[in-house]
Amino acid sequence: MNSFIVLMNKEFTQMVRDFKIIWLPLVFILLGITQPVMTYYLPTILEALGSGQGITIDPNIAAQQGGEILAGTLGAQFDQLGIIIIAISLMGIIQTDKANGMLAFILTRPVPVRSYVGGKIASNYIFTAFSVAVGYLASYLYVNLLFTNVAIFDMLTALLFYLVWILFIISFTTMISTLINSPGLIALISIAFLIGCRLIVGLSSMIDIINPASMSKHAMEVLITGSVNSNAIVNLVVSLLCAAIAIFITNYWISNKKFSNE
Amino acid sequence: MKLEIRNVKKTFKNKTAVDSFSMELQSGECVGLIGPNGAGKSTLIKMIADIINPDTGEILLNGKRISSIKKEIGYLPQYPNFFNWMTAKETLMFMGKLSGLSKNGLNTAIPNILKKVGLSGEEDSKVGTFSGGMKQRLGIAQTLLHKPSLIIMDEPVSALDPIGRREVLNLIQEIKKETTILLSTHILGDAQEICERFIVIKNGLKIEDTSIIELLQRNSDNKLNIEITEKDQKWIGTIEELPYVKGIEVIGNQLKVEVENLENNKNLLLGHALKHDVDIVKFEVGNDTLEDIFLKLVVEK
């Protein structure tokens, strides 16, 4: 337990030294603001840039609800650029330690593997969740300012659902970072798989049950309709299970020293 | 403290890195594990440090598996990298805490250790700015921090320049008084300087386990190395007939003369040379150097 806290502190210190503590929340704030601001000003921009010929901007078009815009932040911004940024910022989470021998070195000390993996996942999850939440809140403020208000309870429920999906993103990227040695390949596989998961949501209700990306859809639904889908709880449990499996594989791989068998 | 390695074997894909290796190490010893590159030294060291598991066999420290008493070992990797963004003090703090030491204990121990390895004044410098020798010394500081009963070092000096080498060798000389050391190297001079006992490993097999004195004695044969000038080549013919000369090996102006009894015959031969007015450049008792012995062991066997 003690080494878990030491390793977690080390991760946080590293984030501060790398300035990750500044840039990651900043990126998510920018992503969060983009959706409401772009949607709000798009008609004006189109009007100013285009000559107006052939484009009709109907002023009577149903005004978008705040909830829809906030859902758009999750679906269009965080689930695309957001995933790419998280995967890239985490691709070296274990791989760097493997490559420079620090992983083997740390494990020559009386450190249980679960403390090492736990410290990595916990610290990075806390920080990434914080960054996503900050970006989401920024988006929420802009939505309330430019569009209709979103109920605070819906906003928090959606955030909670979304952060379960983030947990899976982090566990999965950590697992790939453990199994594979090339940082580029880690990023590619993680991004392709995670965005793939997100894209197939809604194609089949069977796959949706075991797809952690469904949590993102449930978050959006809460924002748009104001009610929780009946499958959400099942999905939540399955998603947590998927994250647990990824963490377990990571732990198993390191415990059995497969990382050092070149 | 007693380290026992019993019949350890490790195979990577289809290459056997270490093959049925056994040895014992007693408290207070300083043992050099020597062998050419690719002999299996690092693999063996990594198995002792519990970084990789042996395929068969076992490694016991005081009768227990290493994985259950990691606190008792201090390990110095071949290239200690550490985290470049940490300062020397933070690195020791980090490694010390992982070894289960308390923060208060570390606060008093770290300045002492840094002083010992000659890094006082550098506690707040980033490890990324350190030279190879400094990193190695920091690595040694890290192995000493939790007062382990066995210190394992993988090629502690091989990658250093002569200055760094000297610093680290002196440091090891210093710490070997207090603890048991097992180190690997392919530079014999270094091993000769700090270790009393050698284990020679080649292709994963232990081919020699002996002390330096024994090794030198066993390999001393009654030979004299003589260097003469060009004009005295004919003298070689005359000494061939001397009763106590058993054999001559000529390489250019160098002679290797094997005699019956070194003690008695060397002065006779010198006298003979002087009588014939030979221009002697060099005249010495030809013990094999450790390097010759090493080459003989590793190349020929």
Q: Which is more confidently placed, B212 or B142? A: B142
Each residue's pLDDT tens digit, A144-166 = 999 989 999 999 999 999 999 99
Of A7, A14, A262, the CB nearest to B85: A14
Q: What are phi and psi of B34, to 5 degrees?
A: -120, 150
Residue-range definition of the domain harbouring residue A102: 2-260
Each residue's pLDDT tens digit, B66-78 = 888 888 999 998 8
Q: How far is A20 from chain B (nearest CA, A)?
A: 13
Q: How many CA atoms lie within 13 A of B252 on its CB side?
A: 3
pLDDT of A62 reads: 64
Q: How confident is the model at residue B162 (pLDDT cuts 50, 70, 90)?
A: confident
Of A14, A105, A261, the CB nearest to B77: A105
Each residue's pLDDT tens digit, A30-79 = 999 999 999 888 878 877 776 656 666 666 666 678 899 999 999 999 99
Tokens 């949607």 correspond to what residue? A39
Q: Which residue of B has its CA nearest to A107?
A: B51
- The B-side interface with A (CB below 8 A) comprises 12, 46, 49-53, 70-71, 73, 75, 77, 79-83, 85, 90, 94-95, 97-100
Token code pair at residue A64? 């978008």
Q: Cα(A57)–Cα(A55) distance, rounded to whole angstroms? A: 6
- Tell me where in chain B the CATH 3.40.50.300 domain(s) lie: 2-217
Instruction: Check if the beta carbon of residue B285 is closer than 8 Å to that of residue B224.
Output: yes
pLDDT of A177 reads: 96
pLDDT of B253 reads: 82
Each residue's pLDDT tens digit, A241-255 = 999 999 999 999 999
pLDDT of A14 reads: 94
Q: Domain B221-285: which topology?
A: Alpha-Beta Plaits (3.30.70)
Q: How far is A105 from chain B (nearest CA, A)?
A: 7
Percent of residues, chain A, with pLDDT higher than 70: 92
- Tell me where in chain B the CATH 3.30.70 domain(s) lie: 221-285
- Mutation target to probe the B interface, by most B beta carbons within 10 A, among A14, A108, A116 is A108
pLDDT reading at B111 higher than 70 = yes
B21-36 mean pLDDT: 89
Q: Which residue of B has its CA nearest to A102?
A: B82
- Mutation target to probe the A interface, by most A beta carbons within 10 A, among B12, B98, B135, B136 is B98
pLDDT of A4 reads: 94
Each residue's pLDDT tens digit, A163-196 = 999 999 999 999 999 999 999 999 999 999 999 9
pLDDT of B276 reads: 84
Whether A2 sits inside 8 A of B100 (CB atoms) is: yes
Q: Among A157-161, B87-91, B140-144, B188-192, which is the least confidently predicted range?
A: B188-192
Q: Among A8-12, A232-236, B222-226, which is the least confidently predicted range?
A: B222-226
Residue B219, exposed/middle/buried by CB under 10 A (0-12, 13-18, 19+)?
A: middle
The full DSSP string for B157-217 is: STTS-HHHHHHHHHHHHHHTTTSEEEEEES-HHHHHHH-SEEEEEETTEEEEEEEHHHHHH
Of B53, B77, B90, the CB nearest to A101: B77
Containing A129, the helix (H) or strand (E) segment is helix A113-146
pLDDT of A1 reads: 56
Considering only CB atoms, which chain A residues are within 8 Å of B80?
A: 105
Q: How confident is the model at residue A262 (pLDDT cuts 50, 70, 90)?
A: very low
Q: Which is more confidently placed, B99 or B220? A: B99
pLDDT of A174 reads: 97
- Mutation target to probe the B interface, by most B beta carbons within 10 A, among A2, A19, A109 is A109
Each residue's pLDDT tens digit, B43-52 = 999 999 988 8
- When the pLDDT of each residue in chain A is averaged and rounded to a whole number, the result is 90
pLDDT of B90 reads: 93
Whether A2 sits inside 8 A of B53 (CB atoms) is: no
Q: Which residue of A has its CA nearest to B82?
A: A102
Considering only CB atoms, which chain B residues are within 8 Å of A258?
A: none
Number of separate domains in chain A:
1
Whether A7 sits inside 8 A of B98 (CB atoms) is: yes
Whether B81 sits inside 8 A of A102 (CB atoms) is: yes
- When the pLDDT of each residue in chain B is averaged and rounded to a whole number, the result is 86
Each residue's pLDDT tens digit, B231-256 = 888 888 888 888 888 888 888 888 88
Characterize B2-31 residue by residue with b for buried, 16 or more Cβ atoms within 10 angstroms of its Cβ, and e for exposed: ebebeebbbeeeeebbbbebebebeeebbb
Whether B95 sits inside 8 A of A109 (CB atoms) is: yes
The amino acid sitting at B279 is D
Whether A6 sits inside 8 A of B98 (CB atoms) is: yes
Residue A183, exposed/middle/buried by CB under 10 A (0-12, 13-18, 19+)?
A: middle
Contacts A–B by Cβ distance under 8 A: 59
Give me the architecture of the B2-217 domain, per CATH: 3-Layer(aba) Sandwich (3.40)
Considering only CB atoms, which chain A residues are within 8 Å of B79?
A: 101
Considering only CB atoms, which chain A residues are within 8 Å of B51?
A: 104, 107-108, 257, 260
Percent of residues, chain B, with pLDDT higher than 90: 23
Q: Cα(B32)–Cα(B240) distance, rounded to whole angstroms? A: 42
pLDDT of A234 reads: 92
Q: Which residue of B has its CA nearest to A3?
A: B98
pLDDT reading at B84 higher than 60 = yes
